[in-house]
Structure 1
Amino acid sequence: MVRNILRKLLHNKAAMSGLAVILLLVFAGIFAERISPHDPYKVDLAVKLLGPSARYPLGTDQLGRCILSRLIYGTRTSLYTAMTVTLVILAIGVPLGIIAGYIGGAVDNMIMRLADIASTFPSSLLALAIVGIFGPSLYNLMLVFIFLWWAPFARMVRSSVIKLKETEFVMAAEAAGSRRISIILKHIFPNTLSPIIAYATLRIAAVIVHIAGFSFIGLGSQPPTADWGVMLNDGRQYISSYPMLLIWPGLMIVVVVLAFNLFGEGLNDALIPSSEERAIVKETGGANV
């Protein structure tokens, strides 16, 4: 099975292109201190708004900071935030989805009503409320996404578990007297991994876009943090005189989101054999709460 999945991925040029970009960005984020040509926070007004040169490959911003260095450090910020949020919502949504689908009854009803409540909150309004109470910060914004986005994972896993409960191997394990926790760990959870992995990859791209968007309007990362959304906000007033301040971070967001979407679609096709399940993951993964 693993060989078949790898074969499908290796033959999917779009997915492999996306994976190559992701690995390159992860490498840049991990080794940002070593590969950045300059300190991304060093202000030098004597060299502000310079064009590309040997010293500053992508030029400098309005405070004389190296644009390339800030983009590299922004990669670390975006990927760290997106992966952290995705891991936490997986840790919340997957167990709740398994419990709801396997136990059913009143427990299922209660968890799904909680998911309904989480899904009714628009992310922008909830972010404004949290920021108004606790102040603008990236961590407060991460809490908003965690609160909202565990619900789609829980629903998707619950749907898979309900189908798995009717399979012969699960019913055989129940008839043999296996404990519920043993059945879940040995038979249920491993067979729900495929849609979870595919959807999580797509969700990372959505988190990156939302983080950049909220940082752009001042609700996420705050200046002088090297963040793509902050860089877009800083460059707004120079859109006519020095548009590269907006083009570079905007291009980075497009490239990263495209890479994760291409790789996520490739994983979706390779991991999930059912066309119905693929459609569910694509529809859910492309939706923005």
Structure 2
Amino acid sequence: MNKDFLENIKENLIKIKKYYNKNISAKYKGISILLLVGLAFFLSSNFLFNKDFSVNSTELNRKYLLKNLEIQLQNREYNPNTGLVEIMLKIKNTDLSQNTKLKFNIVEKQDVSKKLNVNVIKVDDDNYVVYSKLPLKWSAICLKISIDSQSEIDNKTIVKLYSSSKDTNVNTDLVEEDKLGCTIKFINFNINEINKEIEVNNKKLDSNNEQIKNIENNIKELEDNKKYRTDEENKEAESKITSYKTSISDLKNNNIQTEKLIKEYQERIKKLEEKKVDLKNTKN
């Protein structure tokens, strides 16, 4: 797309140049060419500045690497009444011997040369919240995360996380929280994510139980028709029954592990709820 755009400008400039060569004096040729070159530069520059925003919004929970860091965009919300945007990040340091400082910048698609003010709250070692005020008619933003260093190499190492207005959750109750409020927000977020995992595993249990029921029906059908088969056919049927019973055993063992996992998730939620109550009591 970038190549086609520039080629189109080039072709138009050639056509205009031919026209001027035939119809306009040298003085005006020079002025006109300068104006056209300037216009072409402006248009191509604006296109190049905005080409990053041609990509889709960054997928939630996808991991991006920045040196010794694993970065995930966990959630994004926007209040259309105030222009406040909130971006929740998980940033895991895979090398605890490195104390890495980070820089955060946000630019909006309509004016990529302007860095918006950001407020970054480090909730704990792994969790961050980034706040910023956006123009009311924004279309897309790019959150740039880089290592805060004097090294030129580090400054060129950047992770870019994109968010379009279409893919950002609207929350008219969204307000900028302090560190304690962000901590509670992350707890609620984690509880919600764990509940999703419980739901997935409950569906897995339902699916396994349905399979067990179907297999048991197949076994019953084979056993009910035993007297109508020859000895050789019964040998084949017995082999199938043995295989079916092995499948049932595997599914039941899988259910046991899944139920243990669900119980663990429920315990985690219980602990998070306890922590949230204690934090709220501290706040009060």
TM-score w.r.t. structure 2 length?
Answer: 0.24
Specify which structure has the higher proportion of helix. 1
Q: Which has the higher contact order (CA 8 A, sep 6+)?
A: 1
Specify which structure has the higher proportion of strand. 2
TM-score w.r.t. structure 1 length?
Answer: 0.23
